A and B are shown apart, each in its own frame.
Chain A
Amino acid sequence: MNLLIPSTKKENKKRAITSLNPLKRYRLPLKAFGGTLMQPVVVAGDYVRKNQLVAESNSPFYNSIHSPVSGWVSSEPDWDGLYLSIKNDFLELEEDKPYFDPNDLSGEELLLLIKESGIVGCGGAQFPTYAKYLFDRDRQVDYFIVNGTECEPYLTADYALMSEYPEQILGGIACVQKIIKAKHIVITLERQNKELQKNFESSSLFASLPLAIKIVPDNYPQGGELQLIKTVTGIELRKGVLPSSIGIVVNNVATLWEIYKAVYQRQKYIERIVSLSDKEKALGGNYLVKIGTPIEEMLKYLVSEYDDRNIALVVKGGPMMGTIVEPLSASIDKGTGGLMLLPQINQKIENCIGCGYCVEVCPQRLMPLEFIQQTSNSNIPHLSKYNVDDCIECAACEYICPSEIPLISHIRRGKQLISMLKKGKND
């Protein structure tokens, strides 16, 4: 892993978390892990309360989403079942929350609570968190890795969280530890953020758990699960192999914060921290926003003169792995750590010159340049031989390419070709 990207986080790290005011309406995304859509359990016109279940799905894992406010389910717009709209009545009426003593819960009860709170991985993949703990309890978990390594430039959502709520994160860690009983718990921090170390160490909870803090290099993508596992444990895990099968569990810090809130505040996963970066005006901030916040409304609220500016690109996520979105139709989902406003990119694609920089920076040790030719020719055996499915789509190759070749598009197309072939074989 040889890529060092200028972090550009200095300014945003200093900004304290502020809450976004409640908005008139929320558009809850219904897409779940695995590409399936959650089915609504309410219909248009229904009144829902805050934290009430509004949609769920069962395959491949249980997924659910809850209303972040009280109000009425709206009939429009839903864009073919991709979203469920809720009109805020600003009363903040909550669902009845049956009391329980958090410290009384057993490991299995905690797991059930995590499942029913709609908690998914906050790092971007949105994998249903409870499913990570479904392994055989006889298996000893050697390492519980807490991923505080927010390696994409500009993003500071996890940093802000660790800065202001370290105790709560430790509380979340303690809950998960009750389920998985790991031998070692390691909180990982990037070297550029090592000032956060004392936040954790000064807490009383710290001593009561088998905790250690590991400072990891600033390289990109150090925060990728596979790369982090190697840095902490020395084990190189092949993509596609479950970490739990070799006694390792990895969780993002924001996910652990959601677990804390579910257990100690009896909240479902209805809000998260998102960091905003406006490259042109060098503005930014870290915001507590509700899941389902329409991006257009959020930008109008936070960015002065938003309407006049005619922003060229809005990116949901970070500059490396984020996706360009249409603000009018997109909203904050459970995996959104950042929002970026970027000027127009003038991409001038040149021929591949065989420099090999992409090979040098690939964290999975692939040869991205090989995929350009093979995707154009639909050369599937070659794509398999060069392991296109092992790509984690971190975009380090695209970042370093001097010819500005859109490598990730080619790689995604290559993966698509292979999965189409597999599907064809199975039919």
Chain B
Amino acid sequence: MVDVMISLFPLIVVAYLAYGWTALAVISTSITFALLAELLSSWLFLGRKNTLFDGSGIITGLLLAFILSPNTPLHVVAFGAVSAVIFGKVLWGGIGKNRFNPALIGREFMAVFFPLIMNGAALWAKKASVNIPGLHGFSFFASDVMNAFSDSLVYKTSGALGEYSILGIALGGFYLLMRNRISWHIPFSLLVSFALGAWLLQGEVPMKCSVAGILFAAIFMATDMPTSPVTSKGKLFYGAMIGVVSLILIKTGVRYEYMSYSILILNGFAGYVNNIFRPKVWGGQMDWMIRAEDMFLLALSILMVAFAVSALYNYHFIPYLIYIFIVYLVLKFIFVYHKQLSKYI
């Protein structure tokens, strides 16, 4: 956990440079309410009082803050942090048992319960609160365009709180790789499949995507351990499918939430990926035909769900999906998870 905090620290600094105290307010509100929610709900629902010490509450709070606009009202941020912890972790039975990325769950709850704020244009009109507008540090290249581009890789004040420095995100990612907290498979396959798909669909897709947003999600969100597959080949498939699903969502009009939705969709399929991509036992045989068929059918199911989610989005049915999710999880907790708290899987 400490390693993840270290890897995110440069981004906190950059967020402050970009939007000053506004940024820090969002970050600290998110962390504080995540911790409070964890303390109270762990005690009330799980009967445990000392889960604060594993640091995962802080990480959830941080990651949630990094996918929000600095203009987000603090009471909405608090709501998001609390719902991320409760519906993203605690009601599943605690850390490790959750099937969906907590920070992304929190973000979706915010979008559903505060639609006017979260979907309004005002959220992203942040020029007024910019702290340091830009860096002009690069003079290495002869062309001004290249210099400006390099500057923007290091620092750019557009997007959510975690997106202001591609360099910062990349450094965080390398740190986690060195410390063996994440493996390269998911970010690699995600970026490659997204880039390849985007190149193939050139012109067909409004490609004003936030590279920083995609990179951030690839490194910090998609690699979340309990919600992603455990085998290397499974991870490659998983990352690649996230890339493909994102492109489908962009193409069908999901303009901003494509990364969140694609990761949440694939979270739901992680168990099936584990099953299909299980390694060949030592000295055993593997039936390639059956494996290939399973892979194909799984990919097909994922794509169909992607289109379904896109349709739900376009017909404004996503809130109902969240309401169903809430009822389902509460009932599941009361009748099943509550009785399995002592089990560790």
Contact = CB atoms under 8 A, between A and B. Distances in A.
| A and B: interacting chains | yes
B344 A350 contact: yes
B283 A238 contact: yes
Interface stretch (A98-106, A123-131, A276-284, A351-359): A351-359
Interface string A385-414: 011001000000000000101000000000
B66 to A, nearest CB: 21
A373 B96 contact: no
Interface in A327-381: 349-356, 359, 363-367, 369-370, 372-373, 376
Contacts of B93: 351
Contact of B284 (A352, A387, A403): A387
B230 A369 contact: yes
Interface in B232-282: 274, 278-282
Contacts, number: 79
A359 B54 CA distance: 23
Interface string B316-345: 000000000000000000000000000111
A191 B344 CA distance: 38
Interface string A212-231: 00000000000000100000
User: Chain B: interface secondary structure?
Assistant: loop
Given A372-B344, A372-B345, A236 B282 contact: yes
Nearest to A376: B343
Interface string A224-251: 0010000000001111010000000000
B94 A237 contact: no
A103 B274 CA distance: 58
A364 B274 CA distance: 17
Contacts of A390: 281-284
A353 B280 contact: no
B231 interface: yes
A236 B344 contact: no
Contact of B281 (A349, A350, A353, A364): A364
B228 interface: yes
Contacts of B283: 226, 236-239, 241, 390
Given A349-B344, A366-B281, A355 B94 contact: no
B134 interface: no
A356 B231 contact: yes
A367 B282 contact: no
A10 B310 CA distance: 62
Contacts of B226: 353-354
A354 B225 contact: yes
A373 B231 contact: no
Top 5 A-B pairs ranked by shortest CB distance? A238-B283, A356-B230, A351-B96, A353-B96, A365-B279
14 contacts: A236-B283, A238-B282, A241-B283, A351-B95, A351-B96, A351-B97, A352-B96, A355-B230, A356-B231, A359-B230, A359-B231, A366-B279, A366-B281, A403-B96
